[in-house]
Amino acid sequence: MAKSRCVAYTCWLCGGPFLALHHLYLGRDIQWFLWFTTFGGFLVGWLSDLCKMPDYIRQANLSQKFMEQYSKRAGEHVSEWQIARWAGAVAFAALYEAVLLHAVNVYTPTLLHGFVRALGRAMGVWMSFSSGTKRSSVRWTIVAALVCELLLGSLAAPLARVYGERWPHRRSYAETDIHNLVSVLGSLVAAVAAWKTQRYRSALRARHFCVRLPFITLAALVWSALLFSALYHHMEVPDADNPTKTRKLKDMWQEFVRSDSYLQLKAVVDRWSKLVKEKGVLEGLQDIAQEMGLFDENTPRWTDYQVLGVKYDATDAEIKARYRQLAKLYHPDKSTDEDSAAKMAQVNEAYRRLIARTPDTTDRQGKEEL
């Protein structure tokens, strides 16, 4: 189905820079992920989409004019130089590198530390050069980022020492400054590899949203997990007892887990889970609702209608007739079933609650009061 310009602009406006619904609507999943993780490309990309929307719509619709122009360059190297794409690649690489480092919580200069930094840079750069009709090699982008990290990372400590000696007033920030410089240089090297391997896609085809949805959902969940992990390890909030001090969210959570409130809550949840497993979902939820005080013991339950075998809109007469049939069937003096007493008790309880709350009974009680 052809993409509508009106719907695309509506999605752009309603989705905003965070949701970027217009990219989902137009099938630009990689660019959607970039906007989703960077608040619309740090808001600048989302605003620029307003001018680029007509081109996006023509690409999504695979119009005849667009396909005629695109078929001439399909598979060819992208030779155009876009400063905005390079600037965005460096910015995205820095963000992804920081989030991965904080999520993994590894800061000691080790192979894992270097690999995480290189992987974050490579993914930010690769997605920046692989949106829309263009694709670059993720393999060579990662290789370039890893090689640069190995070479420059090994020189970071000596450079930081020389930097601190040359500019003493920046000695306390020397290590941070050098690592930032290595990060920018590594992103640029990865960007060169991505640009050199960037090609126009050999074939364009529109994929149904249902086919794309699992990958979109997985990407959103992975990013949310990484972001939550980063916040969990490093987010600081004001202390309730002393507002001038801050405490890490991780420490507060660990303290809460050891508190009596959490242990009591865990015991209640475990008891409710056991109740649902033993009595089933419906009866278990009913007992939980009654325990929480949502209704009293005289309130009809969902299973009462099933026990008597009547419809939800059954009248008093229908409920009584059905009760007499079940009373004859399950009466201990007449039934040979071993569970007849328990079943009869269930029937009596269900009948008592239903007959006390049916509209017919309410009308009859109102007339008697008059």
Single-letter amino acid, residue 359: P
pLDDT at 296 over 70: no
Residues 329-337, mean pLDDT to the nearest whole number: 77
- Average pLDDT of the chain is 84
Listed residue (50, 39, 44) closest to 17, CA to CA: 39
Q: Calculate the alpha carbon distances from 124 to 89, 146, 255 in Å.
A: 6, 14, 36
Which pLDDT band holds residue 298 (cuts at 50, 70, 90)?
low
Predicted local distance difference test score (pLDDT) of residue 120? 94
Listed residue (348, 295, 358, 354) closest to 285, CA to CA: 295
Residues 62-69, mean pLDDT to the nearest whole number: 81
CB-CB neighbours of 320 under 10 Å: 14
Q: Calculate the alpha carbon distances from 108 to 113, 233, 240 in Å.
A: 7, 15, 32
pLDDT in tens, 224-279: 999 999 988 888 878 777 777 888 888 888 888 888 888 888 888 888 888 788 87
Predicted local distance difference test score (pLDDT) of residue 358? 47
Burial of 186 (0-12, 13-18, 19+ CB in 10 A): buried
pLDDT at 368 over 80: no
Fold of 300-370: Helix Hairpins (1.10.287)
Concatenate the DSSP letters of all residues of 133-194 into one string: TEE--HHHHHHHHHHHHHHHHHHHHHHHHHHHHH-GGGGGGHHHHHHHHHHHHHHHHHHHHH
Looking from the CA of 45 toward its CB, the CA atoms found within 13 Å total 27
Q: For the chain, which residues make up each domain, given as ranges?
A: 1-72, 81-206, 259-295, 300-370
Using the structure block, give the residue that is written with the tokens 């989703």: 36
Predicted local distance difference test score (pLDDT) of residue 359? 53
CB-CB neighbours of 308 under 10 Å: 21
Residues 101-126, mean pLDDT to the nearest whole number: 87
Predicted local distance difference test score (pLDDT) of residue 316? 84
Residues 346-366, mean pLDDT to the nearest whole number: 65
**Cα 159 from Cα 312, distance rounded (Å):** 79
pLDDT in tens, 169-196: 777 777 778 888 888 999 999 999 999 9
Q: Which residue has the higher pLDDT, 356 or 139?
A: 139
DSSP assignment, residue 361? H
Cα end-to-end span (Å), the chain: 66
Query: Looking at the DSSP assignment, which residues form a beta bridge with residue 290?
Result: none
Stated pTM of the model: 0.70
Which pLDDT band holds residue 370 (cuts at 50, 70, 90)?
very low
Count helices and strands (H / E) in the chain: 17, 4
Structure tokens at 312: 């939800």
